[in-house]
Amino acid sequence: MKRMNLVFALLLAGVLTMSSITSLNAGTLEDVKQKGVLTAGVKDAVVPFGFVDEKTKKLVGFDVDICRYIADKMGVELELKPVTSATRIPTLTQGMIDLAAATMTHKLSRDEVIDFTITYFMDGQKLLVKKESGIKSYHDLAGKRVGTAKGSTSEKNVKQVQPECTVISFEGYPQAFLALKQGKVSAVTTDSGILVGLKASDDNPDAWEIVGDFFANEPYGIGVRENDSNFLDFVNRALIEMWNDGTYKKLYDKWFGPQTKYYMPLTWKMETFPE
Ligand code: GLU
């Protein structure tokens, strides 16, 4: 009898494992449609990509609007979960979010852990410094301390181009900017759009300047789990549709157009696949 119980327990365990594998195989697209909610990981302190609106206390930004478009296309609600540069990939692989639209560069090394959509935003890395600091490019950072965010491409890139600087990695970019204001670092480095957001949302934007040429390419992709191709296809299609139907340009102008504090001319084209 005891032996029978053991056999039964083993069989049951097998069935349970199989069913959880099957539900994983069904994919995120089916799961999201069933739940009626798309859970998106976005930044909550990166102006203007994902940040808390002072008046409404709601999470807003370019990445948030991209996620809203995708959720609308799926016909589901959008739920937002804040992630940082360091937490976005583990949060995704552990299943806590369905996708990450979080100023994330599509890097081949990250592609070993998650998958990425086509590029939905194109940027590059620069420096934010105090005006008249004398720092004009990463060449001037030798022997200096530079602030950036933990888990970013920025911390690696700057060390690569200027091995003689000391990189101090903070939880996020606002903390790195605070360190710059307090004189604890000589520059903040990351993607130029994030630097534009930091500078523009300061009480005294004219005290700061963004300097140098791009020293790393930073094409953003939306992160999804590995081997989830129906979902990945859906999100890629949504991005291509929003580019073709003009929604992308509208959203881009809302956040980065000439009327905004974060003006950045749109100088690249999305790689849209023909039908
Ligand atoms: N785009 C870069 C990255 O993915 C820097 C911005 C960020 O930390 O999110 O790491």
Residue 137 shares a structural domain with residue 78 = no
User: For strand 77-82 and strand 37-42, is the pairing parallel, antiparallel, or unpaired?
Assistant: parallel
Same domain, 106 and 132: no
Question: Is the CB of residue 189 below 6 angstroms from any atom belonging to ligand 1?
Answer: no
Whether the predicted pLDDT of 88 surpasses 70: yes
| 37 and 106 share one domain | yes
Cβ(236) to ligand 1 under 6 A? no
Domain presence at residue 263: no
For residues 29 and 71, state if they share a domain.
yes
Is 31 close to ligand 1, i.e. is its CB under 6 Å away?
Answer: no
- In the predicted model, is pLDDT for residue 10 greater than 90? no
**Single pTM value for the model:** 0.91
Instruction: Looking at the structure, tell me whether residues 116 and 13 fall in a common domain.
Output: yes
User: Is 68 in the same domain as 103?
Assistant: yes
Question: Predicted confidence band at 106 (pLDDT cuts at 50, 70, 90)?
Answer: very high
Q: Are residues 211 and 167 in the same domain?
A: yes
Which atom from ligand 1 is nearest to the alpha carbon of 190?
A: 5
CA angle centred on 248, ends 208 and 251, rounded to 5°: 50
Q: Could you tell me which residue, 3 or 194, shows the higher pLDDT?
A: 194
In one-letter notation, the amino acid at residue 233 is D
Give me the mean pLDDT over the 52-76 stretch. Answer: 98
Q: Whose alpha carbon is nearest atom 8 of ligand 1?
A: 152
pLDDT over 90 (residue 16) = no
Q: How far does CA 240 lie from the centroid of its chain?
A: 19
Q: Containing domain of residue 214, as a range?
A: 124-218
- Return phi, psi of residue 12, to 5°: -60, -45
Look at residues 169, 193, 218 and tell me which one is the last residue of a structural domain: 218
pLDDT greater than 90 at residue 252: yes
Q: Is 104 found in the same domain as 13?
A: yes
Q: Which ligand 1 atom is nearest residue 148's CA? A: 8
Binding site membership of 87 for ligand 1 (Cβ less than 6 Å) = no
What is the sign, positive or negative, of the torsion defined by CA atoms of 22, 27, 30, 33? positive
Tell me, what's the pLDDT at 21?
Answer: 45
Nearest CA to ligand 1 atom 5: 152
* 160 and 110 co-located in one domain: no
Model pLDDT, residue 275? 84
Residue 149 Cα: closest atom of ligand 1: 8
Predicted local distance difference test score (pLDDT) of residue 19: 44
Q: What is the average per-residue pLDDT within 10-22?
A: 48
Residue 272 lies inside a defined structural domain of this protein: no
Same domain for 196 and 160: yes
Mean predicted confidence (pLDDT) in 241-262: 98
Could you tell me if 7 and 108 lie in one domain? Answer: yes
Whether 269 is in a domain gets the answer no
Work out the pLDDT band at 26, boundaries 50, 70, 90.
confident
**Range of lowest pLDDT (1-5, 25-29, 182-186, 190-194):** 1-5
Q: Could you tell me if residue 188 is inside a domain?
A: yes
% of the chain at pLDDT higher than 70 = 91
> What is the full DSSP assignment across 158-216?
HHHH-TTSEEEEESSHHHHHHHHHTTS-SEEEEEHHHHHHHHHTSS-GGGEEEES---S
Residues forming beta bridges with residue 99, ordered by sequence position = 40
The confidence score (pLDDT) of residue 112 equals 96
Mean pLDDT across the chain, nearest whole number? 93
Question: For residue 208, what are the CA distances in angstroms to 20, 190, 271?
Answer: 53, 15, 34
pLDDT at 17 exceeding the cut of 50: no
Residue 274 within a domain: no
Domain assignment present for residue 194? The answer is: yes
Q: How many CA atoms lie within 13 A of 128 on its CB side?
A: 30
Cis, bond preceding 48 (omega within 30 deg of 0): yes
63 lines ligand 1 (CB under 6 A): no
Instruction: Single out the residue of 253, 271, 270 nearest to residue 262, CA to CA.
Output: 253
Kindly report the CATH number assigned to the domain that includes residue 210. 3.40.190.10
Measured CA to CA, the distance from residue 161 to residue 148 in angstroms comes to 15
Domain count, the chain: 2
Considering the domain boundaries, does residue 65 fall inside one? yes
Confidence grade of residue 22 (pLDDT, cut at 50, 70, 90)? very low
Q: Is residue 273 part of a domain?
A: no
pLDDT grade for 132, boundaries at 50, 70 and 90 = very high
Same structural domain, 232 and 146: no
Q: Which atom of ligand 1 is nearest to the CA of 88?
A: 9
Q: Specify whether the CB–CB gap between 60 and 124 falls below 8 A.
A: no
Q: Are 108 and 115 in contact (CB under 8 A)?
A: no
